[in-house]
Amino acid sequence: MPPELPPRPGSRLDPWIGSYADRAVGMKASEIRALFAVASRPEVVSLAGGMPYVDALPLDTLADTAARLIRDRGASALQYGSGQGDVILREQILDVMSDVGVIAHPDDVIVTTGSQMALDLVVRVFCNPGDVVLVESPSYVGALGIFQAYECDVVHVPMDEHGLVPEALSETIDRVRADGRTIKMIYTIPSFHNPAGISQPAERRKEILEVALREDLLVLEDDPYALLGFEGHIPRAIRAEDAEQVVYLGSFSKTLASGLRVGWAVAPHGVREKLVLAAEAAVLCPSNFTQGVVSEFLATQPWRDQVAVFRDLYRERRDALLDSLATHMPPGTHWTHPEGGFYSWLTLPEGLDATAMLPRAVNALVAYVPGTGFYVDGQGRRNLRLSYCYPEPERIREGVRRLAGVIDEELDISATFGTAATLHQPGGNTAPGPDLA
């Protein structure tokens, strides 16, 4: 006879509900994610997901590359590899990073399963529960999810049109430290920000680095969009000015293919050693096969021309978005003018609520991501993120026309009833899911 076990405090839906670690309790799918199941119908114009337009890749060339790799070097390409990543690819990554002014040694680089994993590893090796991470207002939802998973205290620092405000950063550091709390890092996306769509000018980057040096705080520089600038210049990374104070994250997701899941971190020597050990514990090694595809592509194809193809394509889409916003949006609506990357950040007229409005927008066959997802503290109700990376320009125009119609209706409702209805979004930020990344 098996021993009688005490009943578990679970439910029929999830009998393990009482067993999860504290760090998993906050992990929940948002109501918004359910709405996005509807929003992925073809008739809906989705300005929500940050999906790169991989359709513009030379797919035949990539197919040949992958086939050749397996045929000629299959025994190594399909085998486990180094935990730090392939050394030839690490050297090629140095060439990619020379465009943003980063000079490093192949030993300083660790290849990861997308830069998302690099983010996870950095937080894993630095943060204890309760440690403070300073982030922009708003910040990348996928990073917020990681900070929360490691039970960090996320503190938002204001941005202006040039990004993170150095004075506000200093004040926040003083305030948090005066509370006796430990700050572990400043997380920033200096180029073509997700979701704010703005970029830090060189002077601002210098000021932020000065604060970090003065306060002896690590800068975690997340830079997947730097090569996707539309105005003819590539912003110089903060890491280009200081190799010791900054951990730099890069990715092939936006310049080649997000599905290959190849990104990297560049870190000071001691940090890099910890990251490799943490990576080996998590996944043993990054995929040898997809590293091989990236490496072959870089070695045999004019990859900078491919980045230029993406840049031109996204510029055209950015123009379609900005033109149609200017044409259709009612007074009181504001948005950022991205000079690169995938996103514009829109502020609704006073009194409107982007989360409450989303079901009506989806009904009108247009989708976006409400601003509250990019904060941990309930800010962002009047904001929404518009992504122009995936839909064709004509679809973008149609999507904006539909969205403007919904905002007009909301304004009518709020003029009649005082305020628009609200959809409750428990817990603020929740994991985005890959479709919203």
**Residue numbers of the site for ligand PMP (CB under 6 A)?**
50, 114-116, 140, 142, 189, 194, 222, 224, 251, 253, 258, 263, 437
Minimum Å gap between C-beta 116 and ligand PMP is 3
d(CA 254, CA 248): 16
Minimum Å gap between C-beta 213 and ligand PMP is 23
Residue 257 or 313: which CB sits closer to ligand PMP?
257
Tell me if 62 sits within 8 A of 54, measured CB to CB.
no
Other CB atoms within 10 Å distance of the CB of residue 154: 18
**Which residues neighbour 292 within 8 Å (Cβ) at sequence distance 6 or greater?**
69, 73, 77, 86
Hey, is 46 helix, strand or coil? strand
Residue 190 or 397: which CB sits closer to ligand PMP?
190
Q: State how far the alpha carbon of 213 is from the alpha carbons of 176, 210, 323, 409, in Å.
A: 17, 5, 41, 50
**Alpha-helical regions (H) of 139-283:** 141-149, 166-178, 202-215, 269-283
Local structure of residue 60 (DSSP, 8 states):
H
Residue 191 or 324: which CB sits closer to ligand PMP?
191
Minimum Å gap between C-beta 47 and ligand PMP is 15
Cis peptide preceding 391, ω within 30 of 0: no
Look at strands 132-136 and 183-188 and give their pairing: parallel
The DSSP string of 298-363 is HHHS-HHHHHHHHHHHHHHHHHHHHHHHHHHPPTT-EE---SBSSEEEEE--TT--HHHHHHHHHH
Residue 329 or 388: which CB sits closer to ligand PMP?
388
Minimum Å gap between C-beta 195 and ligand PMP is 8
Minimum Å gap between C-beta 173 and ligand PMP is 22
Residue 83 or 263: which CB sits closer to ligand PMP?
263
Residue 306 or 324: which CB sits closer to ligand PMP?
306
Residue closest to ligand PMP, measured at CB: 114
Structure tokens at 126: 């630095």
Strands (E), 89-138: 109-112, 132-136
Minimum Å gap between C-beta 203 and ligand PMP is 22
Minimum Å gap between C-beta 189 and ligand PMP is 5
Residue 140 or 402: which CB sits closer to ligand PMP?
140
